[in-house]
Structure 1
């Protein structure tokens, strides 16, 4: 009999990578997908899928209890800004949000983990299923000049502090100056704002929290971000090794080399 494993899936391809690995490891997967957010491809990769309207926490917990899953992972993006609006929330979600000490991403996700574990399911670290997406330190594309290296060092230091304060994970740096830091708007908007202020040749840095719980909001980078940086005239993307999921690795490296973008795992 196959072992059963759940997935609460948000936006992006990270949940798909998890499902592929879980299937290869012989798991029967049950995915709780969010309508209008989760990629429809989860249908092809899951043993069973429940489509839930976003922010219907009560519905999700009822289904979870019914399935009696021993373990579940939480992966994929859900916009943090919705925590301020209550739009589409059911009564359980509203009472849950109001019970939290604050609405920072880590607080919300750890609160959801607590609710899941009260329902009898443990929330697992997904890293064993996604280890192929973690990188070792090193330059993956391009070559860092002395001045770019200095920008990377500054940017990673600031991004680490920013992430540890649970504000954001991304900063934009140019010529030894922090140009933009990520807030509730998200990575893409931070990069766009930084590019508009810095002009061409900027560096984007992304880091994890100092005490990163790998179950919670792990930094993720993929080809879409690299294309965005290239389109805005950016020169370098740096991210934290062993604590960032790098999607589309071959595509990222090939595109970066073609466009003269430096990619460095720090």
Structure 2
């Protein structure tokens, strides 16, 4: 019988996955990145990755899913075990090529140890909404801004930069970079009114060539609030490619703020 481990990071996604599973998984967390609302079974460090993977084997784990936010940890060379030290060159080479390359290499290492790496859409498909207008109504300007934003994000994804953009009346007000969604929306909120058209959409999607088993975009009720605080008229995301945490609450807040919420 297969046993699942969640490599959990910060945020509400790990707990949402646990709630969707028929039996309890093994909860693992990178040191310093504990998930919200979950007891952690195993804490590990990158410098001891090989030892951690052997521990998963001992626990009978056969499948692994990555969920939640982490940042690149600061590594302590004195802590490396011999087998993990042999992985360092491949990890460092991947890190130099960007986030997507790093995540693909992490997946490859887990697979080298015999684990099947699965994605959110495999075990909790309901967290990725299908195409629908979830709140508000779409205007012709929304259609145009969404198409423009989608083309911008596709270009960003091709060079492994980000998964989101803000467009208002055809003008790009912001793109997602290393700081993520919150930082981008804060920049948009701070733009002088004289420089920005009225309204606008925040658009989010997975990168075109990314491995969908890891780092799918995630939105939640706080995102809706941030879109409203940025003075935008709506939030649009690619249907089937974006995780929505507590979708009913997202819809309720979109209605409260008078925003469009659209799975495109």
Equivalent residue for 1:125?
119
Matched residue of 2:3: which SS?
A: strand
Tell me if 1:97 matches 2:91: yes
Structure 1 counterpart of 2:63: 71
- Provide the C-alpha distance between the structure 2 equivalents of 1:151 and 1:190, rounded to a whole number of angstroms: 17
The answer to whether structure 1 residue 202 and structure 2 residue 200 are counterparts is: yes
Counterpart residue number, 1:60: 52
CA separation in 2, counterparts of 1:88 and 1:133? 37
Q: Deviations over 1:44-82 (max 9, x none)?
A: xxxx71123577534533423433421111111113xx3
**Counterpart for residue 6 of structure 2:** 7
Secondary structure at the aligned position of 2:262 is classed as strand
Q: Where does the alignment leave 5 or more consecutive residues of structure 1 unmatched?
A: none
TM-score, reference length from structure 2: 0.86
Q: 1:39 aligns with which of 35, 39, 55?
A: 35
Farther-moved stretch of structure 1 (70-79 vs 89-98): 89-98
| Cα distance in 1, alignment partners of residues 145 and 112 from structure 2 | 45
Kept in 1: contact 2:18–2:24 (CA 8 A): no
Structure-1-length-normalised TM-score? 0.85
Equivalent position of 1:253 in the other structure: 251
Counterpart contact for 2:201–2:235, Cα < 8 Å: yes
CA distance in 2, matches of 1:127, 1:163: 20
Q: 2:129, 2:240 within 8 Å by CA — same for their partners in 1?
A: yes
* Cα deviations by residue, 1:119-164 (Å, 9 ceiling, x for unpaired): 2212123313211112122221112222232111111221133223
Residue number among 6, 26, 29 corresponding to 2:25 in the alignment: 29
Matched, 1:158 2:152: yes
Note closer, same or farther for the CA distance 1:107–1:231 as it changes in structure 2 (3 Å cut). same
| Structure 1 position 224 matched with structure 2 position 222 | yes
**Residues 1:129 and 1:224: Cα distance change in structure 2 (over 3 Å):** same
Q: CA deviation at 1:95?
A: 4.1
SS of equivalent to 1:7: strand
Q: Secondary structure of the residue that 1:100 maps to in structure 2? A: helix
Q: Is the 8 A contact 1:134 1:246 kept in 2?
A: yes
Aligned to 1:110: 104
Structure-2 change in CA distance of 1:101 and 1:229 (3 Å): closer
Contact 2:220/2:247 (8 A) holds in 1: yes
Which of 141, 146, 156 pairs up with 1:147? 141
**Cα RMSD (Å):** 2.4
Partners of 2:65 and 2:139 in 1: CA distance: 40
Aligned counterpart, 2:212: 214
